[in-house]
Amino acid sequence: MAYQSYNRDNSHLINFIQVCLCLLLLTALGCNSKNSKNSQTTDAIQDSVQKIIDEVLTYDFNNNVKYSKLLRAHRLIEDVEEDSVQSRFLETISRQSFRIGQYNLTRKASIDLQTLSVKNNDTMGIAKSYYYLGNYYDTLEEVDSAVNNFYYAERFFALMGDNRNAGRSVLTLAIIQKNQKDYVGGEASSIKALQYFSSLDEPRYMASAYTNLGIIAKDTERYDLAIDYQMRALEYRKQHGDYSLEVATLNNLGHIYSSKRDFKTAISYFDQGLAYDSLYYNRPKTYAKLLDNKAFALYEDGQREGFPEAYLVPLHLRDSIQDKLGAVTSYLHLSEYYFDLDSIIKSKEYAKLALQNSRDVSYQLGEQNSLTLLAKISDPEQALTYTRQYIKTNDSLQRAERLFLDRFARLRFETDILESERNKVTQTNKQLVVVLLSLIAFGLMGYILIQRRVNQRELNFREIQQKANEEIYGLMLSQKRQLEEGKQIEKQRISEELHDGVLSKLFGTRLSLDSLNAKVDDKSVGIRSSYLNELKNIEKEIRQISHDLNASTFGSDVIYIDVIDKLLHDQCEIQNIEFELVNDKSIAWDQMSNNKKVHIYRIIQEALTNIVKHAKAKKVAVRFANNEGKIVLEIKDDGVGMNKSKNKRGIGLKNITSRVRQIQGHLDIDSRPGNGTKVSIDFKL
């Protein structure tokens, strides 16, 4: 009954375990299915975003369609799991939305890109996010934010070795500085941009940097330097191959010569710009600027024919294309023209139009010039009003310029502090690395020295051991020789006793028998004759024994084999093990070094010890053979054998292997459980 209850309990336990395993299996399959579905969904979203972006890049949609597609892609990006793919999509959305003028989307995508890049320590992604945000704030004329973002973009791009984008960032920063009348900073940033571009094939950006330097030099009245910069810019413009940019540089050169009062040269450059084909249709704003600047140079050079039409033509063109900024210049030129003609009403009318347009487009320089002109042509009371407005505008502009300089200086200062701290940390890390490497080097040197000492001690120990082995072997041989010499002396003594004693007596007996041979009967003669023959035989046998005993039967080779034979006898007799020693007579033992003989002796001794301890053998055979100049030693037993893979780490086997290596021999062990063991060693004499 107890046995049946035990079986029932086991059955319930087994059933419970089976149910648990099934539930675990179903859960795992469900999780895998869910993960698979999630993975498929993520892949589908990623493919959808990629398809939308490809459509925006490939097809010529209008800007509204592009915006809706980019907005949809931005919403889907949140469900893309791979951060690197998200970063790539966000970068494309930031760039494309900026191109179509959807700046809010540019800002959102750029901020998302920056957040993701900071999270993943993606320096390049951080640099690009700063650059796109800089473009966004620059477009909105939020100068401080634009400067901050371009400044950091340049630093991060430089950190990544991206000279092209680092140069673009610092060049845009230089243009902002020039526009804010930070001429020193703008010049330094422009030169820094040139350094980035100098190693690249970027004629467009080289030209832009030289153009900015030319404008700064012109505004600071360094006209010759400005001309040099603009001429360099013109060379790069021609390399780039964009004629509209070449025309812009020609206009800049004409403007510089006008500022120098060299109007004829200025007019020649304006004419070169106007000569470009289809400029009126493709770049009407540039065309109107060239016409107006040429008209101004002609008027200042003293020409009055064709005026005011020369000013009105570019003004009408600017009005038709709604170029309010350009129209400010036209209005100012017309106001000055009519002021010279003493047509105050007309002059004042155009000056007011210039003031209104300047305020509409936030053109502060135009506003200042308009107020100056109005103060000059108005009655004293109105002139005072315009003068106060001018002072207010000028003060506001100067405050803005000072604030910009202060903020930019503070930005540089804070960045320099951060870089200084980073350099300190880097220097500290370098010092730590140097210290660590030095410690490792010292440790390694110490280890090498200690290891060399250990090796030297081991070498000294081996030399001492070798000398001791040779001395032991020498003592063994000396003892053996003394023993053999004692035996030889004893043999010689016995031989002399037999020869001088026994043989002499036998010889005397034989002579006596010969002398007593007086009886002549046949029987007596036969008996005496037989005795005499027997005595002769005894004499011959004793002489042979004496001769054999007196012979030198043990050479140096026999002595060594005797040592081996005694070793076998001593080891095997105690354990009742039969042994056999076979020696090849052709082996010249006397030519073998004592050191090698000691190693062979120890190898046989170690093998016999292992046989006695572990083999349970009844027979042992030791054979020496001479095989074409090599000596072959074979030690064989009929014991229980061994498993070589399990016994290869034994001390005895290691000792045998070490001694075989020292005599430069080859060791082979053939053994299987139940089939005995055969140790074969071959080495040179």
Percent of the chain topping pLDDT 70: 78
Reported confidence tier of residue 78, pLDDT bands at 50, 70, 90: confident
Reported confidence tier of residue 513, pLDDT bands at 50, 70, 90: low
pLDDT at 512 exceeding the cut of 60: no
Condensed to tens digits (0 to 9), the pLDDT of residues 182-210 reads: 889 899 999 999 999 988 888 999 999 99
Lowest mean pLDDT among 177-181, 404-408, 548-552: 548-552
Residue 262 CA to residue 265 CA, distance in Å, equals 6
SS3 content of the chain, % helix, strand, coil (to 5): 80, 5, 15
For position 524, what pLDDT does the model report? Answer: 67
Using a 10 angstrom Cβ sphere, with 0-12 exposed, 13-18 middle and 19 or more buried, the burial of residue 15 is exposed
Reported confidence tier of residue 444, pLDDT bands at 50, 70, 90: confident
For position 557, what pLDDT does the model report? Answer: 45
Q: Are the CB atoms for 335 and 357 separated by under 8 Å?
A: no
The stretch 358-380 carries a mean pLDDT of: 88
Paired residues of 621 in beta bridges = 580, 636
Other CB atoms within 10 Å distance of the CB of residue 670? 13
pLDDT at 57 exceeding the cut of 70: yes
The stretch 438-455 carries a mean pLDDT of: 86
Q: At 668, which helix (H) or strand (E)?
A: strand 666-671
Q: What 3-state DSSP class applies to 158?
A: helix
Q: What are phi and psi of 633, to 5 degrees?
A: -110, 130
Reported confidence tier of residue 18, pLDDT bands at 50, 70, 90: low
Paired residues of 82 in beta bridges = none
For position 549, what pLDDT does the model report? Answer: 56
Residue 259 CA to residue 225 CA, distance in Å, equals 13
* Tokens of residue 521, six digits: 């009967």
The stretch 571-581 carries a mean pLDDT of: 87
Q: Are strands 666-671 and 578-582 parallel, antiparallel or unpaired?
A: unpaired
For position 55, what pLDDT does the model report? Answer: 87
For position 461, what pLDDT does the model report? Answer: 79
The CA-based angle 350-351-357, given to 5 degrees, is 90
Q: At 683, which helix (H) or strand (E)?
A: strand 677-684
Q: Are the CB atoms for 386 and 367 separated by under 8 Å?
A: no
DSSP 79: G
* Tokens of residue 323, six digits: 């170029």
Residue 651 CA to residue 613 CA, distance in Å, equals 13
Reported confidence tier of residue 236, pLDDT bands at 50, 70, 90: very high
Q: Are the CB atoms for 168 and 197 separated by under 8 Å?
A: no
Other CB atoms within 10 Å distance of the CB of residue 171? 24
pLDDT at 534 exceeding the cut of 70: no
The stretch 642-664 carries a mean pLDDT of: 79
Question: String of b and e for 473-499 (b: at least 16 CB within 10 Å)?
Answer: beebbeebeeebeeebeebeeebeebb
**Which residue from 334, 230, 222 is spatially nearest to 272, judged by alpha carbons?**
230
The stretch 335-339 carries a mean pLDDT of: 92
Q: Are the CB atoms for 659 and 646 separated by under 8 Å?
A: no
Percent of the chain topping pLDDT 90: 36
Q: What 3-state DSSP class applies to 82?
A: coil
**What is the tally of helices (H) and strands (E) in the chain?**
25, 5
- Name the residue with tokens 């901020």: 111
The stretch 130-153 carries a mean pLDDT of: 91
Q: In whole angstroms, how far apart are CA 460 and each of 73, 342, 464, 482?
A: 80, 119, 6, 32
Condensed to tens digits (0 to 9), the pLDDT of residues 87-114 reads: 888 989 998 999 989 999 999 999 999 9
The CA-based angle 424-428-430, given to 5 degrees, is 115
Residue 332 CA to residue 596 CA, distance in Å, equals 117
Q: Give the amino acid at 444.
A: L
The stretch 254-258 carries a mean pLDDT of: 94
Condensed to tens digits (0 to 9), the pLDDT of residues 625-639 reads: 988 878 999 999 999
Reported confidence tier of residue 31, pLDDT bands at 50, 70, 90: very low
The count of residues in the chain is: 685
DSSP 521: S
Condensed to tens digits (0 to 9), the pLDDT of residues 654-679 reads: 888 889 999 999 999 988 888 899 99
pLDDT at 230 exceeding the cut of 90: yes
List all residues 6 or more positions away from 277 whose beta carbon is below 8 Å from its beta carbon: none
Residue 122 CA to residue 456 CA, distance in Å, equals 55
For position 196, what pLDDT does the model report? Answer: 94
For position 449, what pLDDT does the model report? Answer: 86
Q: Are strands 619-627 and 578-582 parallel, antiparallel or unpaired?
A: parallel
pLDDT at 2 exceeding the cut of 50: no
The CA-based angle 564-565-568, given to 5 degrees, is 90
Q: Give the amino acid at 310.
A: A
- Averaged confidence pLDDT in the chain: 82
Q: Omega into 308 within 30° of 0, i.e. cis?
A: yes
For position 22, what pLDDT does the model report? Answer: 55
- Name the residue with tokens 């930019």: 408
Ordered DSSP codes for 196-256: HHTTS--HHHHHHHHHHHHHHHHHTT-HHHHHHHHHHHHHHHHHHT-HHHHHHHHHHHHHH
Q: What 3-state DSSP class applies to 621?
A: strand
For position 86, what pLDDT does the model report? Answer: 85
Question: String of b and e for 132-166 (b: at least 16 CB within 10 Å)?
Answer: bbbbbbbeeeebeebbbbbbbbbbbbbeeebbebb
**Which residue from 664, 669, 663 is spatially nearest to 607, judged by alpha carbons?**
669
Residue 520 CA to residue 518 CA, distance in Å, equals 6
- Name the residue with tokens 């991206």: 162
Alpha helices in 59-139 (DSSP H): 63-76, 83-99, 103-119, 123-139
Q: What is the largest CA-CA distance in the chain?
A: 203
Task: Give the end-to-end CA distance of the chain in Å, rounded to a whole number.
Answer: 82
For position 149, what pLDDT does the model report? Answer: 93
Lowest mean pLDDT among 32-36, 439-443, 544-548: 32-36
